[in-house]
Amino acid sequence: MTGRAARTAMAVVMALTVAGCGAGDDRASDGAADGRVTGAVTVFAAASLTESFRRIGKDFEAANPGSTVTLNVAGSSALANQISQGAPADVFASAAPANMATVTESGNADGTPTTFARNQLVIAVPRGNPQAVTGLADLSRPGVKVALCAGQVPCGAAARTALEAAGVALTPVTLEQDVKGALAKLKLGEVDAALVYRTDVRAASAEVTGVEFPESARAVNDYPIVALKDAPNPAGARAFVAYVHSAPAQAVLAEAGFQAP
């Protein structure tokens, strides 16, 4: 590992944002040798997976006593870059194949990524829909402030595809680095609408409402997952990937609004 990569890895470890499906870090207890899965499993996951992977992580821990799952959630492009620069992680779950390709093409994947879910955009508006937004064209009306994801992250790429399909041109007041950032701008009242995933609206349904639009069908995102080549806990990495494809985990994802792969 280069000096730069080492510094990046240290920064990522210090910045792990959501930890904590379990407590403690017990990598030394990786029990792969006796067939059990124990120890810490660090999962880098797209921000749109936050709520679902928190629950799946807890379920994984319950199914594998002695294991702990730590989540690092952010935009898929940022996570892919961190992994490529040497950040210590066991699993990568991306919101789009393009960002997964950054990891596979740099030789950091252990095997071939597999698609475990799909997701679709909606227009998030405040409850009551005060701007009476019914479709993408309404977002280009004068005075309507819109938050989008930046183009390099999956929700931004999907939004661009949907807007092009609708023939709508708009200038957002903000471009966020992940979908949770765009939704936060709406919840704070800084914008009138945000293009986010259906799952994000469902998770924040107490505060926002989702407006479906037909062009979103042209921009459905596949979510791939893979164990990482230099995973500190390779047995845990492979077990977590398998668990995400299991019926219990798929039920969690479906309840959150994800589509089956």
What 3-state DSSP class applies to 226? strand
Q: Are 196 and 183 in contact (CB under 8 A)?
A: yes
Same domain for 198 and 154: yes
Say whether 41 counts as a known binding-site residue: no
First CA to last CA distance, the chain: 36
pLDDT, mean of residues 122-132: 97
Residue 1 inside a domain? The answer is no
- Looking at the fold, whether 109 and 227 belong to one and the same domain comes out as yes
* Domain-embedded: residue 17: no
- Is 179 annotated for ligand binding? yes
Q: Are residues 111 and 179 in the same domain?
A: no
For residue 184, what is the domain's CATH number? 3.40.190.10
**Structural domain for 237, as ranges:** 39-118+223-256
Mean pLDDT confidence for 100-114: 96
Distance, in Å, from the CA atom of 169 to the CA atom of 176, rounded to the nearest integer, reads 18
Confidence of residue 163 (pLDDT cuts 50, 70, 90): very high
Please tell me whether residues 170 and 206 are part of one structural domain: yes
Same domain, 93 and 162: no
Tell me the per-residue pLDDT of 7-60, one tens digit each, with 9 for 90 and over: 444 444 434 443 344 433 444 344 445 668 999 999 999 999 999 999 999 999
Whether residue 82 is contained in a domain is answered as yes
What integer pLDDT is reported at residue 33 of this predicted model?
Answer: 54
What confidence category does residue 159 fall into, taking pLDDT thresholds of 50, 70 and 90?
A: very high
> Which residues lie below 8 Å from residue 188, measured CB to CB, with a gap of 6+?
none
Strands 174-176 and 91-93, how do they pair? Answer: unpaired
Looking at residue 28, what is its pLDDT? Answer: 38
Lowest mean pLDDT among 30-39, 86-95, 101-110: 30-39
> Degrees (nearest 5) of the Cα angle 13, 258, 60?
50
Answer yes or no: do 55 and 113 share one domain.
Answer: yes
| pTM of this structure | 0.82
25 is a domain residue: no
User: How far apart are alpha carbons 115 and 129 in whole angstroms?
Assistant: 34
Q: Answer whether 87's CB lies under 8 Å from 80's CB.
A: no
Amino acid 244 reads V
Q: How far apart are CA 157 and CA 130, in angstroms?
A: 27
Residue 84 annotated as binding? no
Question: What does the pLDDT read at residue 5?
Answer: 42
- Is residue 20 domain-resident? no
Predicted local confidence at residue 20, as pLDDT = 41
Summarize the confidence of residues 110-135 as an average pLDDT. 97
**Cα separation, 234 vs 13, whole angstroms:** 18
Residues 71 and 192 reside in one and the same domain:
no
Q: 112 lies in a domain?
A: yes
Same-domain check for residues 69 and 141: no
Same domain, 109 and 155: no
Asked if pLDDT for residue 105 goes beyond 70, the answer is: yes
Co-location of 134 and 181 in the same domain:
yes
Is there a domain that residue 190 lies in? Answer: yes
Based on the structure, what is the number of domains in the chain?
2
Please indicate, yes or no, whether residues 179 and 209 belong to a single structural domain of this protein.
yes
Asked whether residue 69 is marked as a ligand-binding residue, the answer is no
Does residue 188 lie within any of the structural domains?
yes
Same domain, yes or no, for 129 and 210?
Answer: yes
Which residue, 227, 241, 242, 235, is CA-closest to 34?
Answer: 235
- Reported as a single tens digit per residue, the pLDDT across 203-221 is 999 999 999 999 999 999 9
Buried b / exposed e along 34-53 (16+ C-beta atoms within 10 A): eebbbbbbbbbbbbbbbbbb
